[in-house]
Amino acid sequence: MEINKEPEKIAEKANEYIKELYKRSREDHGTSQKRFDYLIVTVCGAGIYIVLELMKFLYEQKLTITTSLKLSGLFLATSLIFNFTSQFFTFNVFNSVLKMEQIEALDLPIDIKTVAVKIKKYDLLARLFILLSILLMILGIIGIIAFLFITF
């Protein structure tokens, strides 16, 4: 009889290990996402500052403010807005998951399909906006570099 309990103990330990690994992975994913958001905000903020200082310098020197510089600033500002929008949708994903877990913990009836569709929609929008944010940030930085090489 003791032999039969051994596979159950192994399965229970494996299940606990998987749950702990999943929990740590979720925490690491959240930390990674926060750092990436900080990076985008920092780079875009610095880029916008550089664009504004360059525009101020050109204005004071009575030089033409080129379209590439204006577009770079616009790309960086839009990147920030898209990053914040992505964070909004990511918040909604996590909020929906938490609500679903609370409902399941209380054994209340839930239409998982409806919630899953909502989560999938928010997740898709969050991924789309973060991708657009990254692309616009890169375009803004390339625009500043190109402007500096062409102008100076």
Q: What is the pLDDT of residues 5-48, one digit of tens each?
A: 677 888 788 778 777 776 777 777 777 778 888 999 999 999 99
Q: What is the pTM of this model?
A: 0.78
Q: What is the pLDDT of residues 72-100, one digit of tens each?
A: 999 999 999 999 999 999 888 888 888 87
The CA dihedral of 110, 30, 124, 111, to the nearest 10 degrees, is 0
* Backbone CA torsion sign across 126, 132, 135, 139: negative
